[in-house]
Amino acid sequence: MHLLRTKTIQRDLAADTGLKRDLTAFNLTMLGIGAIIGAGIFVLTGISAATQAGPAVVLSFVISGVACTCAALAYAELASSVGGCGSAYGYGYALLGEFPAWIIDWLLIAEYCVAIAAVSAGWSGYFNNALQALGLGLPEVLMHSPLDATTPGLINLPAASIIVVLGILLAGGAKISARFNEIMVLVKLAAIGLFIAVALFHVNPETWTPFIPPVERLPDGAAGFNFEMRLMDWIKQALGFDAEATRFGLAGVVSGAAIVFFAYIGFDAVSTAAEETRNPKRDLPIGILGSLVICTLLYIVVSGLLTGIVNYRELNVPSPVAHALLQIGQKWAAGMISVGAIAGLTTVMLVLYYAITRIFFAIARDGLLPQFFAAISDKTRSPVRCIVLIGIVMTLMGGFIPLGQLAELCNISTLAAFAVVCAGVVILRRTQPDLPRAFTTPFSPLIPLTGIGFCLWLMLALPILTWLAFGIWLLIGITIYFAYSYSNSALARRS
């Protein structure tokens, strides 16, 4: 039963916890937009259309958006009633018990670590493109890690450098980081607005036909890296499945939804700001739901226009939005989009970096990780030790590890965490019906149960290799828990 010991719910969400309460509903909404609008809108829209769903990628974003909306409503309720900077980890600790909470935080660590490193690699490419336009491009050895199978180098220098810069910014405090984020968000929203304005006048309805292309079968290795595809094919054959990859059709729409889900990760990062928010009961639901609604609408509009100005088969490129504008002769707009992409990817890394440091701080404060990392800077009132540790890990990952398609590990971890949050709402309604709730999820338990169903559905659409990596990651986390966390948690010391 010690595995299920729970923390007491903090009724006063505005209590002083040591972190500085500076953030408003506007700051939180901008943080959410900063986390959500990035690689998804500038990269995944085109690649998912070309390789999975065709013009029906719009439906893929709708499916993912519905799943995220159910989870966001659950997050809003728990954030306004349970609170804490640990996000889903904190909710799990209060509702489900210590061991389930540890599993959740282990999933969140995978989500944010992989996402930050993956986005830093994309940022590196865009940044070097900008340098090349100025005649200052970096040599290849400084753009690839030593483990890169295709083009080995010394280090991905831009990827490592941007993480160091963002770490320094975060160490200055939440308010400074929020202001920088808002400036970058305005830049990328301006770039997206420019794309919409230009694309509206170049739409060719014929490119939307067929809206859901018929199913196509691909030869082995055509849908990904050769090693991964060979391994996946072997596993599928061992389980009796067709070894050939498929795309398009309704199955492609669902697979596309599982992939573009990466675009939505990050709105949960808003909930990690609970202890730095002036009025958490009011501001957290506004920030979580407001940012998700705005971003979902933008994803649907951009993906629809993108497949409306060029044929979806042309969009399997690293920068599909800029590529599409070049195809219709809008070079100046393509250049502006590249600037917006750099700003967009910067804010995604900043907000996710911010979120993981707060989650790590909450875990250390509870004793599940060394309490050395629970210290707060007297000057900035931010967890500087967490920022430094996470920064070192992220710098090594971004600079020296080629992530490839491990970003899908981020998706499956996020989906699992979202499912737990939705379950938490159902459990809390039964166990503590009288708990004060500033926001309540409508049509409960229907909405939370729908969220669980969507998350599990999208998880099943992910590749088998992703499930294997997911299982290995969980085994590592379970080992750490029983080797250290079980006997060192704050609750264990009190008992």
| pLDDT cut 70: percent of the chain above it | 88
Q: What are phi and psi of 420, to 5 degrees?
A: -65, -40
pLDDT confidence tier of residue 22, bands split at 50, 70 and 90: confident
Alpha carbon distances (Å) from 365 to 39, 172, 372, 421: 32, 21, 9, 21
* CA Rg value for the chain: 22
Residue 133 near residue 341, CB atoms below 8 Å: no
Per residue in 300-333, pLDDT tens?
Answer: 999 999 999 999 988 887 678 888 888 888 888 8
pLDDT tens, 453-481?
A: 888 887 877 777 778 888 888 999 999 99
Q: Is the pLDDT of residue 12 over 80?
A: no
- Binned at pLDDT 50, 70 and 90, residue 408 comes out as low
CB atoms within 10 A of CB 386: 25
Fold of 2-136+154-213+248-400+410-494: Amino acid/polyamine transporter I (1.20.1740)
Q: What percent of the chain has pLDDT over 90?
A: 18
Question: pLDDT value at position 196?
Answer: 94
Q: Range(s) for CATH 1.20.1740.10 in the chain?
A: 2-136+154-213+248-400+410-494
pLDDT computed for residue 149 by the predictor: 66
Dist. CA 26–CA 17, nearest whole Å: 22
**Tens of pLDDT along 346-370?**
888 888 898 889 889 889 988 999 9
CA distance 387 to 398: 16
List C-alpha distances in Å: 120 to 93, 159, 193, 493: 31, 5, 24, 40
CB contact at 8 A, 421 and 413: no
pLDDT of 142 reads: 87
Residue 121 and residue 156 in contact, taking contact as beta carbons nearer than 8 Å:
yes
Taking 50 as the threshold, does the pLDDT of residue 245 lie above it?
no
Identify the band that residue 243 occupies on the pLDDT scale cut at 50, 70 and 90: very low
* 164-216 tens-digit pLDDT: 999 999 988 878 888 888 888 898 899 899 999 999 999 999 999 899 988 87
Amino acid occupying residue 187 = V
The structure tokens listed for 486 are: 């079980």
Residue 152: what are its φ and ψ, rounded to 5°? -65, 145
Measured CA to CA, the distance from residue 143 to residue 396 in angstroms comes to: 14
- Range with top average pLDDT, 199-208, 373-382, 434-443: 199-208
> Which residue, among 8, 46, 28, has the nearest Cα to 278 in the 3D structure?
28
Q: How many residues does the chain have?
A: 495
| Of 105, 119, 94, 117, nearest in space to 34 by CA | 119
Higher pLDDT, 117 or 226: 117
| Mean of all residue pLDDT scores within the chain | 81
**Nearest-angstrom CA–CA distance, 352 and 386:** 13
pLDDT over 70 at 402, yes or no: no
Rounded Cα–Cα distance for residues 70 and 75 (Å): 9
CB–CB of 245/405 below 8 Å?
no
Cis bond upstream, residue 445 (ω within 30):
yes
Of residues 275 and 265, more confidently modeled: 275
Centroid of chain to Cα 358: 15
| pLDDT grade for 388, boundaries at 50, 70 and 90 | very high
Higher-pLDDT residue of 92, 308: 308
Q: Summarize pLDDT for 33-86 with one digit per residue, the tens.
A: 988 887 678 777 888 888 888 999 999 999 888 888 888 898 888 888 876 667
